[in-house]
Structure 1
Amino acid sequence: MPLTPRRPRSRRLRAVLLAAAAASVVAAALPAPVPLGIGDPLFPHLGNPGYDVLSYDIGLSYPGNNSTPLEAVTTIDAVATDGLERINLDFARGTVHGVEVNGRAADFASADEDLVITPQEPVRAGERLRITVRHTSDPKAATDGGWVRTTDGLVMANQADAAHRVFPCNDHPSDKAYFTFRVSAPADVTVVANGVPAARERHGGRIVSTYRSGHPMATELAQVSIGRSAVLHREGPHGLPVRDVVPAVDKDRLEPWLQKTPGHIEWMERQVGRYPFETYGVLIAGAETGFELETQTLSLFERSLFVRPEFPAWYVDSVMVHELAHHWFGDSVTPRSWSDLWLNEGHATWYEARYAEEFGKHPMEQRMKNAYALSDGWRAAGGPPAAPRATAPGQKIGIFRPVVYDGSALVLYALREEIGPKAFDRLERRWVRDHRDSTASTADFSALASEIAGRDLSGFFRGWLYGEKTPAMPGHPDWHSATPRRA
């Protein structure tokens, strides 16, 4: 029999107690925190359901060396697309000090590479969210992406799934957002990030540099450079501001390469139209990464690419054009899932090869004929261009196989042979115009190609993008694919 209080409680007190009891029941009923994902075929636990990020504001405090964790505050503005009792963020390789949701302290726990947040009240669909996470960002274990330690500081290399090893986020390219970076560093250290500078404030012996992006960006394209760098300014087409970030000791040695960038931009604009962002530049890092990376508005390159004598000039130029081309194909028009990666790398390789043909006298047709000979082997090893197989644990960048580079440029070559150069050029321009600042899929590309060609190309794309064997090359019946060796 329930106990009866000796005197009536007020209605307000009763309501408070009932609400608290209900909240306790809900909290008790929640299962243990688990990692979630949006079901990407290659990275099933990447990204998180239930919300759409609008912007990130990331504050970092660089201690003056690249082996001590940075103190950080990440603020995420988002809108809930579903009702949520918990909010999952992708985050690993840092210590979380505290979390707030809409200004109120929230409980949190780690589950694999997710930060699972329990707000004081469930979130309703359509509700605006401001999530603030106070945390560290640790560069010491940077062996599989995220922070890259350079000879004089740090840069980021977040592709494909490593941004959450730097800051809490919804780490999937389908959820693009605006970015602000506020980086505090010693006064003798140079900081540059995506976008354009918004503020520079001195606080004693430290300077806080603020950068903002003018266009939405995928998390994998975020970039912050911290080091003893020189920032070199020049002008690109239509007055575009171009700024390059290089080790200060190398600025004179690297200038002959850097001064080529405005010409590269002009060449790309003749192919596909106006450069899509507010600035561009080359970031040259003193680090051995084994790759270059199209971080938005500030492409990352290894120093060795420009100083090793065995690399001929035409090759270095074409690699620079490859990363620049990504700013149309991959950065502005971003893949909806990682299986759409061929749209990024195939196009960047296509324009790299066209540049090498025009300026390096390396014929595109011969390169594509060689790729055709190897294509069946590439498909056997890693899957067809638009249906790549997942990689083994610990080898996530293994999705960047030859089939998504020359093997996917080969698809574009076949498409041009199928529909003709004029229709192909219209397709390229329409693609980057129609999907600017958004995400797009392989199905979108197939549909647009069919519209421009005036006929259904779904059968063409089914064979070229999903077939186990490489289809016959239109117009080249003499091309043959070598039989792949059995393992």
Structure 2
Amino acid sequence: MLLTSRRPRAVLLAVASATLVAATLPPPGPLGIGDPLFPYLGNPGYDVLTYDLDFTYGGDNTKPLDAITKIDARATERLDRINLDFTHGEVRSVEVNGSAAEFVTAEEDLVVTPARPVGTGARIRITVHHTSDPSGPGGGWLRTADGLAMANQADAAHRVFPGNDHPADKAYFTFRVTAPAGLTVVANGLPEGKTRKGANTTWVYRTSHPMATELAQVSIGDSAVIHREGPDGLPVRDVVPAADRELLEPWLRKTPDQLRWMERQVGPYPFETYGVLIAGADTGFELETQTLSLFERALFTRPEYPEWYVDAVMVHELAHQWFGNSVSPHRWSDLWLNEGHATWYEARYAAEHAGKPLADRMRSAYTRSDGWRAAGGPPAAPEPPTAGRQISLFRPVVYDGSALILYALRQEIGDAAFQRLERDWVRDHRDATATTADFVALASEAAGRDLRDFLGPWLYGKKTPPMPGHPDWRSTPPAERTVAR
């Protein structure tokens, strides 16, 4: 037995201090950064600088992957605990700055108590040994016919790996994925090599630009990777089921010209590579994962989809590389900036390449706009998603209902000022996040006058304002429409 009365005074003080901290800390619980649509998403107190994600895939896409997530971050305040977004996986151990840390789960947070508190401004290295489970609904891993891909929007990245799962905290990513040697792995960014060891191969990819967690992508499968060149030598690589390479080539070869078209609209492509990932899965959506947009195979193979429509959808996801990926929303209520712009360039492309008049599409959207606002809120203040169905946030009001704002703005300030605004927007906020207020301020600068009174009702009004140049346009509330039977 060691008598406490014989301990050195410094030891007694340290024990007393630790006891006092433990006594004053509240019970572990989920935290958030105050996003009104996802109140427990993201975590205060630190800024993630890099993620190093290590996955081991055994070849069965129904079984959890072994994983190690390493996070380098900087504390923005003193941290006695560190909250990470993570759910749907088993946590085996956690280290903070090389020392074992205690951890508990609280709803969809992993709450870590480091051996020593982290001071403001200090660097943090967090290492989590865990599993990553592809089973169950809710997004994250997407099971394909031959393996896995990711679909993390809006809040499903933390079903795959621990982190700060909010687009306000972008970081650089490194992916190390070990899979059976017969499979191909592709991830965001550019390859940094692969190593064969026995029956497995480890592939390494790294991003050259910061990325939101929702945009992470890893494809594992029996894939063909097709390389070609885009504007100014940009490496373009497409990832498709190996058996479909020839079938899909007519679509894949369109990407370089689509890139050139987008560059003529808004300026240079913002990343180190681009390509499409066509997955053997029925998703019901396409997704702008950074540098490697995800598409479901059916979009390109079902005969009821006309060519012009598929082309426009491809441009929609491509436009997101500028709007949403390079310039990310600071809060999820800024989502209209992503989807409104992607829909705008999708519609513009269809108008120029398929004779689908932009004004016709915008007039149709205007007719429905009041109904969309009533059902889902105004574009810049959308209603929260339905509980348990986070993807329900992606309503018509954030697509055509938000592209309508851009059409109204161009009508109001003229094409030259509008084009200047679009180019300045993606240049000034490249690799960063931005808000609706930032857009209004830059639009005012481009127009040479304050546009807050003009844009405010378009962004936040319950009713759709009059369309400049089209006084005859009317928006009909749902109850007043005639229902065809």
TM norm structure 2: 0.97
- Structure 2 distance, partners of 1:385, 1:442, is 10
The equivalent of 1:280 in structure 2 is 274
1:145 corresponding residue in structure 2: 139
Check the 8 A contact 2:386/2:393 in 1, yes or no. Answer: no
Paired position in structure 2 for 1:88 = 83
Answering whether residue 41 of structure 2 is matched by residue 46 of structure 1, we say: yes
Matching residue within 173, 185, 190 for 1:191: 185
1:127-146 map, 5 Å: 127-141=122-136, 143-146=137-140
Is residue 278–residue 297 contact of structure 2 (8 Å, CA) maintained in 1? Answer: yes
The 5-angstrom pairing of residues 335-346 of structure 1 reads 335-346=329-340
Amino acid of the structure 1 residue aligned with 2:72? D
- Structure 1: distance between partners of 2:26 and 2:425: 44
2:149 aligned residue: 155
Deviations 1:407-434 (A, max 9, x none): 0000000000000000000000000000
Name the structure 1 match of 2:363: 369
The 8 Å contact of residues 288 and 294 in structure 2, kept in 1 or not, is answered as yes
Aligned partner of 2:20 among 21, 25, 29: 25
Pair 1:15 & 2:13 matched: no
* Partner Cα distance (2:101, 2:12) in 1: 20
User: How far is 1:486 from its partner?
Assistant: 8.2
Q: In structure 1, what is the equivalent of residue 238 of structure 2?
A: 244
- Report the Cα offset of residue 16 of structure 1: 2.8
- Give a deviation string over 1:199-230, Cα, whole Å, max 9, x none: 21111111110000000000000000000100
Q: Which residue number in structure 2 is paired with residue 60 of structure 1?
A: 55
CA distance in 2, matches of 1:203, 1:75: 23
Q: 2:217 aligns with which of 219, 223, 239?
A: 223
Compute the TM-score of the two structures, normalised by the length of structure 1. Answer: 0.97
Match of 1:483 in 2: 477
Partner of 1:322 in structure 2?
Answer: 316
The root-mean-square deviation of aligned C-alpha atoms, in Å, is 1.2
Match for 2:159 among 158, 165, 171? 165
436, 448, 452: which one pairs with 2:446?
A: 452
**Runs of 4+ displaced beyond 3 Å:** none
Structure-2 separation of matches of 1:271 and 1:172: 29
Offset, 1:161: 0.4
CA-to-aligned-CA distance 1:237-268 (integer Å, 9 cap, x gap): 00000000000000010000000000000000
Shift of 1:4: 9.1
Matched to 1:439, the amino acid is T
Alpha-carbon separation, structure 2, partners of 1:356 and 1:445: 25
Deviations 1:312-347 (A, max 9, x none): 110000000000000000000000000000000000
Give the superposition deviation at 1:14: 3.3
Q: Indicate conservation of the 8 Å contact 2:172/2:209, yes or no.
A: yes
Q: Distance in 1 between matches of 2:96 and 2:268?
A: 40
Partners of 1:112 and 1:411 lie apart in 2 by: 38
User: Equivalent residue for 2:97?
Assistant: 102
Distance 2:91 2:190 in 1: 29
Q: Which amino acid aligns with 1:185?
A: A
Asked if residue 203 in structure 1 is aligned to residue 197 in structure 2, the reply is yes
Query: Partners of 2:198 and 2:407 in 1: how far apart?
Result: 57
SS in 2 for 1:479: coil
Amino acid at match of 2:473: W
Deviations 1:252-309 (A, max 9, x none): 1000000000000000000000000000000000011110000000000000000001
Aligned match of 1:378: 372
Cα distance between partner residues in 1 of 2:89 and 2:314: 33
**Structure 2 counterpart of 1:253:** 247
Match of 1:298, as an amino acid? L
Aligned residues: 479
Please list every run of 5 or more consecutive structure 2 residues that lacks an aligned counterpart in the other structure.
none
